[in-house]
Amino acid sequence: QTLRELVCAMPKAELHMHIEGSLEPELMFEMAERNGIRLPYASVDELRRAYAFTDLQSFLDIYYAGASVLQTERDFYDMTRAYLERAHADNVRHTEIFFDPQTHTARGIPMGVVIDGIHRALQDAQREWGMTAALILCFLRHLSEEEAFATLEQALPFRDRFIGVGLDSSERGHPPEKFARVFARCRELGLHLVAHAGEEGPPEYIRTALDVLHVERIDHGVRCLEDAELTRRVAKEGIALTVCPLSNVKLRVFDQIHDHNMLELLDAGLAATVNSDDPAYFGGYVNDNFVALFDSLPLTREHAQRLARNSFAASFLDEATRERYL
């Protein structure tokens, strides 16, 4: 068995993917057609050619525009079903999925339509394949704290359908502290807490996500290594980093996959994991991310096993189930 075969075949958990970022151009055009929405691109090919990003914001502009085709419960179901089929084929046994309700409620789509459509697909995957899946509601950090509170209120009738909250969208200029009070409220509600930090933003945002928001994992976190003291602390506390290698290259966090710091993260004792982020936009699903890394960096079988183990250890599965995967 080659190393490539091993990383593809090993059971894994995915902990960092945005469901809206799994919408492939073909399905996007199909939904645009059936919902009578005009996309500002003439064809699937033209849309794919627009996926030449220079930074996080240049991606987000296209990602939010693409999400406009999502209108009905069926649309959210079909998008989620397509992702789960890809994840199942990649031997993902458990996935924790981000969704961005504000992208939809701002367009007049009811919260219940979004959550019910996604949730029904998760139930089907559990029933058909025994795959487990959970939802994490993300607040858009470029919007206000007040809007985050309003979103939380709208989601509370569906409290049993999501396990936690996260923080995503434009990082620079929107530090974690901006959402201190809304995360404090979510903590009181018993929700799990995560946040994107240290992707484009400075290591300081990782520190404040931990100290002010009290998050349990850091999404991305690759800039952690710029601060030696922070690196020692994150390693010592066993805080996982949900790293997304192809995303990092597409958004120019690293120039090429050969420059990715995954080996350094692991060698520093950090609980890094491999994830796809926005697979329809960044060139692949979780196994594509593993293959790109293992083809480009001097990573070993031991690293592969550690990455798979980290993915389950850092998951929000109940303790008994988690232990069975370790």
Catalytic residue ranges:
199
Tell me how far apart the alpha carbons of residues 326 and 319 are, in angstroms, rounded to a whole number.
Answer: 11
Instruction: Report what 76 binds from Zn ion, ligand ES4, none; CB cut-off 5-8 Å by kind.
Output: none
Give me the numbers of helices (H) and strands (E) for the chain, helices first please.
17, 8
φ/ψ of 156, rounded to 5, equals: -60, -30
93 CA to centre of own chain: 16
Question: Is the separation of the CB atoms in 240 and 263 below 8 Å?
Answer: no
Burial call 51-68: b when 16+ CB within 10 Å, e when fewer: bebeebeebbebbbebbb
Name the residue nearer to Zn ion (CB basis): 113 or 271: 271
Min separation Cβ 220 and Zn ion, Å:
7
Site string for ligand ES4, 125-164 (x = CB under 6 A): ----------------------------------------
Name the residue nearer to Zn ion (CB basis): 20 or 277: 277
Left if phi > 0, otherwise alpha if psi is -120 to 50, otherwise beta: which for 123? alpha
Considering only residues 62 to 101 of the shown chain, the ones binding ligand ES4 according to CB under 6 A are 63
Min separation Cβ 249 and Zn ion, Å:
14
Site string for ligand ES4, 239-268 (x = CB under 6 A): --------x---------------------
Q: Is 278 annotated as a binding residue?
A: yes
Name the residue nearer to ligand ES4 (CB basis): 41 or 282: 282
Binding site for Zn ion (CB under 5 A): 277
